[in-house]
Amino acid sequence: MESTPQKLGLILKYFSDFTPHQIQQFEALEELYKEWNAKINVISRKDIDSIYLHHVLHSLSIAAIAGFQPGTQVIDIGCGGGFPGVPLAIFFPEVKFHLVDSIAKKLKVVDAVTEGAGIKNITTQHSRAEEIKNRKFDFAVSRAVAPLKELWQWAGPLLKKGHQQEIANGLICLKGGDLAQEIFESGLRPRMMPVDKIFPEEYFAEKYILHISK
């Protein structure tokens, strides 16, 4: 198995302007997730050994298409163990991330990783997205949580209209496989980008970023 700095080389291959503090935070993720995954399983065994490729870099594909401005508010719907929200929060330290999941023990992992890595711009909430009231966000992010139609039903009411950034406010989700039927059933017209065009790694074949403007 590769050492952590070598694995982090995969991240540094595509992004070069991290502070030493951000690099420390990214390096901390592997041990924190391994420690907590042994207690509360949030990542499959095969994925935990490839955490930087399968989880961290995959999450950061969103950063490659969306340059969130300082002060932006982002909700991660169905965050699970913290992807894509945790890597994005390290990448964008001046952006506020609110990670939401209906399963409390997954948020226990997120809270522990966030504390262990010294990430200050994450809040968590044990809730279903559709139960959140009186809060609005610039963007919703999500990874492989639900069909697009449902995701938009949850995300749409939580989003503010706006286009002050590289891309318009809206939902950004990570999905894989043949999405034609899912997109058709949603009635939406997402902008779709292949992840392997951003990061030419074999693992990202047939993985996509979908962006739906509010």
Q: How far is it, in rounded angstroms, from Cα 148 to Cα 132? A: 19
| Diameter over CA atoms, the chain | 47
- Residue 127 structure tokens: 């809730």
Q: Which residues pair with 192 in a beta bridge?
A: 210
Which residues make up each annotated binding site for S-adenosyl-L-methionine? 78, 83, 129-130, 143
Computed from CA positions of residues 144, 73, 101, 186, in that sequence, does the dihedral angle turn out positive or negative? negative
